[in-house]
Amino acid sequence: MKLVLALLLAFGTVNIGTTGIPAIQKILIHPPIQKSTKDTVSIVMLDHPKTKQEIKQLLAPYKDIKLRRVYHKAINGFSIQGPPSAIARLEAQTRNRQQTQIQHVSPVTEYRVETEESVKIIGGEEARGFFSKKNERLTGRGVTVGVIDTGVDYTHPDLARNYAGGHDLVDNDQDPMETLTQGRATIHGTHVAGIIAANGKIKGVAPEAKIVAYRALGPGGGGTTEQVLAAIDQAIRDKVDIMNLSLGNSINGPDLPISQALDRAVENGIVAVAASGNSGPNVWTVGSPGTSAKAISVGASTPTMEIPQLLIEGMQNPLRVQPMEGSGNWALDRTLPIVDGGIGQPSELKNVQGKIVLMKRGELTFSEKAKNALEAGAKAVVVANNLKGTFIGNLDAPAAIPIGSITKSEGEFLRKKLKNTSLTARLKVNEEIDRLADFSSRGPVTDTWDIKPDLVAPGVAINSTIPGGYLSLQGTSMAAPHVAGACALIKQAHPEWTPEQIKAALMNTAKPLAKEPGQPSATSPAETTRKPIKIDPIGGINKGKTQLTPGPYYRTYEQGAGRIQVDDAIQTESLVMPGSIRFGKFSSLKNVHKAQLKIENISDSPKRYTFDIPQHIDGLEWRFPLAFTLEPKETKEITVELAVDPQIFKGKIHDGFLTLHAGSQSIHIPFLYVLEEPGYPRIMGFDFAEGDEPGTYQYEVYVPGGAEEFGIALFNPDSYRFVGFLDTSTDVKKGLIRKAFKAEDLPYEGTYRAKVFARKAGKEDFIETMISIYKN
């Protein structure tokens, strides 16, 4: 017998409560979470470098703590292992400033991989027609890119000539080959390397750049802070020009060791590129190392794609279907009936011949669903998500019939309709480009309110190298190497440029992306306002201006400066640094916020610079410098001020783009100002469903401010008696928690009242819901 799980919302809604303010008639009381006594690993960051001997002396009073690794380049610090109680004593002394040389103690977390048309879209083909100062075409020649990932198949014919060695930080040797162990094999690093520098059957963005591989993620694509730090440390020693990290976790904070290590790499002259994460579309979901202030954090946009829409009889709006990778061609030439195919088991597909089958996600792989539908004679498959939002699926093997995905709510709507009436649909195919991928993580960064990601690049349906061949994948993991390759082209064209200048060139010339009409915006943390974006496609201060309304544009903390245009970045004649402005949060001590910008004329002729005056908003007053002229190679530092009257200005968050005209060039500078930090709960967005693999189940929940204790407690729904914990954690960092279970890890058959709670600073917030477990 198999396990089937259904998530039923209590009273039809999710109830959020605070201890002492019951959300229902009875209080759900659970026992205290028992803290683990097993040894754990932590990273200790120091104010100043220390030798290994000095570190041993520092740890001498803590007999149970063992020294593991010492870092010299990525951070000033080391890793330790010991009982949580001993590490807590060390951390307590740090807080009490008895150990002033210790700056921070951070638990080791897990990092995982974040999973020819795209090169053309970002201007890569145009850039190959340009020449460097050595009169060589721009192909990345002479530039070294470090790929910190799962390793690289350096025997692949498209990568062999570009491979320049590497290091394995998992097995601690010099062979960074992808994991080949059956069932745990990896392909991710090879795919990333191909996007950057494939030079064979397919061409990467910079096909003659050198790749140095750092295997920091082992079997199954997982690794720890220790290993990733060691890889960054080694890459700094190796003096690579660019490093790419298409990996991450869901912790949204600027002070994690990996994020700080990337800041250090940039200070050492290395351009650091990091994926923002795949936890979108909600705000606050950007994760480390995409939270690094000095690195280039990259979100995912779409290349040119043909997107099917189903025009369903009786429905006013068409139903957008996201094709899965490996799907058959969506070319339905007639109106077809839609039927409910359950989960996609053969027994549920008795009457689907010649029809479109609606299926629930979970229990079976997407390939199994497609295979079962094909054998039953179906014409197409539409899979409804089992968690909130949309998703993009991958098939294990190409499907002979089209298969795509829709949202959970769309699937529920169709199933409800099908219970009462028959439905038919005809197909319409639209061409889409430059949409922000739903999975792309959004900012801003907690605490600092930095705008992240900085940029977006194509990250959907990207074909690249894998061991033994080629495969199309999607994720911010695929977007980041587009930017790393673009940086290699810019570095070849301008070898004297610093990482800050390369980042600025890409941000200053990026294309702000607009939403499709009617497309919903990502969940906003609070009431917001924003100004229109002014785009000047022709150039000149008084010529060709087009006023664009703000509504269709993605927020700055969703897309940063926009989608990269590497050809424009290479040819830019002015640089504005930094590429985005964070005015911070309102303080009662001041109502005037200042931002310092450095303007650099890198051309051979004088240029006049002027700011557009933003649209007026009550309670906000902008102050810009008067028009000024810079001579060739001249630099000027300016101040932009934003005065706020909180009695008049009613928006909680204000963002948009300032426009600086630099001669005939228009530079758009994203900005963000926060009047009041959202009063978000300690826990939100809980969802629980079957996994994509048979016998697996998963939950996800967002903890915006972190938690000292987190748990999912199960209770008898009638007596409210505590039954047990489904999961518990302590010292949880802020961000998304996502965990998968096997069937044997779940409780017995039955219906449970679940209390999902997070406790911090003596306050507990919780969500109540009903979880039912049935055996069929």
Where b means 16+ CB within 10 Å and e means fewer, 441-467 reads bbbbbbebbbbbbbbbbbbbbbbbbbb
Catalytic residue among 301, 367, 477, 666: 477
d(CA 614, CA 670): 12
d(CA 211, CA 197): 7
Q: Strand 707-715 vs strand 750-760: parallel, antiparallel, or unpaired?
A: antiparallel
- Candidates 127, 770, 186, 32; CA nearest to 485 is 127
Query: Dihedral sign, CA of 98, 102, 108, 114?
Result: positive
Query: How far are the Cα atoms of 235, 247, 653 from residue 290, in angstroms, in the given order?
Result: 18, 9, 22
Catalytic residue among 79, 104, 118, 149: 149
d(CA 104, CA 48): 12
Specify the DSSP element, H or E, that contains 403: strand 403-406
Is residue 744 within 8 Å of 697, Cβ to Cβ? no
Catalytic residue among 104, 156, 167, 188: 188
Is residue 336 within 8 Å of 308, Cβ to Cβ? no
User: What does the chain come to in residues?
Assistant: 776
482 in catalytic set: no
Tokens of 670: 């994203």
Query: How far are the Cα atoms of 198, 304, 460, 688 from residue 434, in angstroms, in the given order?
Result: 24, 7, 10, 31
- Candidates 143, 224, 202; CA nearest to 502 is 143
Tokens of 103: 């700056």
What are the φ and ψ backbone dihedral angles of 66, each rounded to 5 degrees?
A: -110, 140
d(CA 493, CA 499): 14
d(CA 702, CA 682): 8
Is residue 320 within 8 Å of 407, Cβ to Cβ? no
The residue with tokens 């039954």 is 723
Distance of CA 166 to the CA centre of its chain: 26
d(CA 430, CA 56): 63
Give the dihedral of Cα atoms 278, 282, 288, 292; nearest 10 deg.
Answer: 120
Tokens of 180: 């080949």
d(CA 695, CA 680): 34
DSSP SS3 for 726: strand
d(CA 82, CA 65): 5
477 in catalytic set: yes
Residues marked as catalytic: 149, 188, 477
